[in-house]
Structures are given as C-alpha cells and as structure tokens.
Structure 1
Amino acid sequence: MGSPRHVPVLLDRVVSLLAPALEREGTVLVDCTLGLGGHSEAVLERCPGARVIGIDRDPHALAMSRERLAPYGDRFVGVQAVYDEIADVVADQGLPRDGGVAGVLFDLGVSSMQLDLPERGFAYAVDAPLDMRMGDTGPTAADVLNTYSAPELARVLKEYGEERMARRIADAVVRERQTAPFTNSARLVALLYDVIPAPARRTGGHPAKRTFQALRMEVNDELRVLQRAMPAAVEAIGVGGRVVVESYHSLEDRLVKRVFTAATRLDVPEDLPFVPEGAEPSYRLVTRGAEQATPAEVEENPRAASVRLRAIERTRANTGPKAASGKGAE
C-alpha cells in the first residue's frame, strides 16, 4: 500500500517548535492529526530520543502511516480515535493524563490523502459520492443536504463557510432535493454555479469551495471537537512541554487563541505592584501572535496560504484553574 509523500505545511518550523520539548530520551509527542504521518516522520527522524503516539479517526490514514513509520519500530504507535479523546489515548498508553507527554501537535483541516481520494467526496473538482467523513461512522454530507431545514443549512454555510449566498444556496438545495435527493458532488457544484451570480463567482476562488468546507466541518463536528481537545492538550503536556497548532479557518484560530490566552493570563489585579509567588501563569506563548507562511512556501504549497501557526509551552505545574475551554468560539 503506497502513500503520497507530500510535504506538510510549515514542516521545518513545526519541528523546530517541538524539538526543545523532545530532547530528552523517552519523551512523547501526541500527533493528534496523524494523516499520512509526515509530521511524525520528521519528528522521529530529527528527535531520536522521542516517541510518537499518532491519532487519526480515519482507518485508511492509519494503515498508510503505520506502513510509512514501520522503520521506527516501537517508537511509533497509531491509535484510531477522534483527537478530543487525547486524555483517554494518553492514559491507555500508560501515561498520566495531566503532564504525561512532552508535545502535542494539531494540523487541522482535511488531509491531502482525503482530498486525493475521489470516493471520499471532499474535492469538488471531480464527481464523487457526497461523503466527507474523516472517519467511517456518522452522517454524511449527503445526509446534511437532504435532511437539514433551509435555516439550518444556511447557518452551516454562513458560519463555517463564510458564504455570503448562504440562504440562497440553502433554499435552492431544499427545493431541488424534492425532485431527487443529493448523492454526488457534481450535482451540488452545478447548483452552486446556477445560484451564485457570475460577478460573485469571479472572486474568492472556486464557487464550491466555501460550501464544501462548511459541509465538511459540519459532518465531522470539527469546531466542537477542537473546543474539547484544546484544553485537554494544554493539560496533557508536562513542564517544558509544548502544544503546536496549525489552523486554516478563522474560527479554529480564534478558538486556539482564546485557550492559549487564558492559559497564559496573569490572574492578579492589574493595579497590583508585584506578582505574588505562585500566581505566575503556568504557560507562556512561544509564538508572537499567529505565524504565517512565507510567499515562497505558499507558491510551493498553496495549502499554506491560509495557515495560522501558534505554540504554547508549560513553564510550571498547574496550581490554578484549568485552561479555558474556548467555549463560545462558534
């Protein structure tokens, strides 16, 4: 079973952010979005004392990454799970839920492998079943299109796809599904071309891009999963450990920023002339704001155009409240 050898976005920068936390022998990275294993492979190669626990809900991705990373033996273990189950995955590997790992990585969004397999239905460039599930259970994109009311569908398209024509598209979908249910992507793409006016189609990329993104995020419950996963990831790292996140959607980045800001906030009155011992934050920001890809990287890898990279480090054991959940980011 072969696997494409695409280069993940900002690979060198991601590994350089994780490396200081993975210098000691036996340290563990949890790669929460394993995919084809590109990040994990780079970490295993450049951090020879580290081990990797790779999480992915997609059994096909796990099979490919296990084959790719087989040369690293027991330094790598793959686990089929959704990444908001990180605490359980860590505990199942015999590590403490709080502070048991040295690094956690998220490379959010859809993987190159999923985009490259037409039968998964993620890509609008080819006709395929409207599936869009990152795993192998749960409702599909076709189920969303065929069962959501027009207001519900419009909310999904506007919130997750930032689609200005959300209500017009939703009304058209509800009208057209009365003739026959939606099953394949080509019919949806044709509807979008009909519904979105020509001037609007000339800007913002392919007219189906925003709708397909929104459907994918709804099918996989991506924001709610991330909302649960981020605080668990922050708590999972030990002192000196780091969480590194690559986001590709403004709502994702806003949620990550909110959790990181809460974890690093100094929780004392602003007019206090000194910081009492023990009141210092347990975490510090490693990146200044969100880092972006250079024009050269975007030219080489177009997926990097929308990336926002953030990292946080644990500086001491927790003594105060846990990291904020990020609730309300939706």
Structure 2
Amino acid sequence: LASQRLDEGRVHVLESHLSYRIALRTFSAMESRAVLGLPDAYTLPSAPGNGYLKTDTSTLIRFRAAYVSAPHRATTVSASRAAASRQVAAFAAGYMAPTLPPSVDHADQQPDVSDANPPGKPLLQIILDRLQGEGPPAHQIWLPPLANPPTLDQLLPPLAPDPEHGLVPLSRPDRSELSVPIGIVDRPFDGLRDLLMVDLAGGAGHVGVVGAPQSGKSTLLRTLILSLALTHTPRQVQFYCLDFGGGALGGLADLPHVGGVASRLDVDRVTRIVAEVSGLLTARERLFADHSLASM
C-alpha cells in the first residue's frame, strides 16, 4: 500500500496485515501519526530521502535513502603508490643527509576511472552487476522464451547409426508405433514444455495442415516425414509426395522411405504416383479380405 495521501479508515482496516511501515516527510503531524503512530515524520528535514522505518510497535529507525538512477561518479585518488613510496625512507642506524621534498608528479594525480564502471552508467546497474552471481539463484518462475525452432535431434533421443536400421534413436523401445514428435508445446502457466506428438495409428492416420502462404506448411510436412523416417525403417513407412506448392518436398526424394516426389509440372509422374497408390490400396483391401483383417 503506497500513496502520497492515505485514508486513515483504510489504514486501520489493514492494520493487522502490515508488517512494516515506511514514511517520508509528511504534510502534517496527523498524517505521520496515521502511518507511524508518531508525529516524527512531520519534523523530518525537507531534503529528499529522509524517512522513518517502523518494523514493530517499539522500533523506529530513521534513514536517508539514496538516489540510484543518476550516473555513477568514479572515485579519484590524491596520489599514486609511486609518489607515496618516494616519501618512505628505509630505517638505518647511520647518519642520513636531508633531502629535498619529493617532486609531485601531476600525472599520478589523475582520476582513477575504472573501466568496469564507464561514465554515465547508472549506480543501480553497477550494483546489480556486482550482485550478479552472488548466492544461490532464485527459482525461475518463467521459462526463457522460445527462440529458434528445435531440430529433430533435440526432440528425439540421441541418434546413432545402426547397422540394420541406419540413423535411428538409441532408446526408442518400439519401432512399430506411429507416434512421433514434431515440435514443442510451451505451457507457461505450468512452467513446463511438452513434446508436440503426432499419433498416426488407427483412425488418427489422416493429417491435414492448414495455413496462410509462407506460414510453414511445407516445413511441417518435411518435419513429419523426417521424424517418421528417423524412427522407422522403409519397410514400415513409405511416402509418395505430390508437391503442388513451392517444391519444398523435392529435397526428400533421395530418402529410402520416399517412393517418389512429383510437382505440378511432372504430369506423367503425378499420374504414375496416383496409380501406384491406388494399386497399393486395392492390394491391401484384397489382402485384408483374404486374411479376415479388420484394420491396420
């Protein structure tokens, strides 16, 4: 509760909830008594920063606040160590002739400006810089903002070449599952980040990507294909791509999982891919019927 003018009725209502009180110079003794219970704040000097801190019913501490938003002023030295050392004579038992006073080197009296605190830097920033790294860090309530999109090697377990399956995650227990990560979901109110998983098993096998131009539709499709290719063998997943957009899927044509990629200009290849997929569906329907299989 902070204000220039306090309503005494509100202060009395909050009496049991106030653990300490701070009062600068007040306009009247009545206002000081309303905050501190004493008129002392009214008699403070008019210089800014003078105030009282009351922590309990009997402790009243007077203080002088410091202005920490002004530029920091570096300290100066009156004489350097070299000038001071010339005035020190070694102790001896013999006779020592008097000497002339040492000459003062004006170059040694220049202000000692520290490079760590350049002129114009606020005092508050210098204090914060010196406090940084001291003591145990406080618990971070908010996670840092999401910057660059994560790569698949960050979303998946560590990758390593396998003699049978190629480059695959080491700790993936079951390669027959069709659940793969494609991104990160930020949950700031829970202080957590979860993997954005896509489950293509059973009836969830159809995926639709909708977005405006240059919104990342092709990037999402490439991520989904590569995530499935890293976690499955070509015998488990295959891709046939009709790329009628900007040609972003053409870079996946060399994957062993990709049966073919055709653009809108490759009319014959488009026809061949559609016929290949249609024949594959017909063969599977016949195979399912022969073996009495209900679904994949």
TM-score normalised according to structure 1 size:
0.20
Largest Rg, 1 or 2? 2
By percentage of residues, which structure has more helix?
Answer: 1
TM-score normalised according to structure 2 size:
0.21
Q: Which has the higher contact order (CA 8 A, sep 6+)?
A: 1
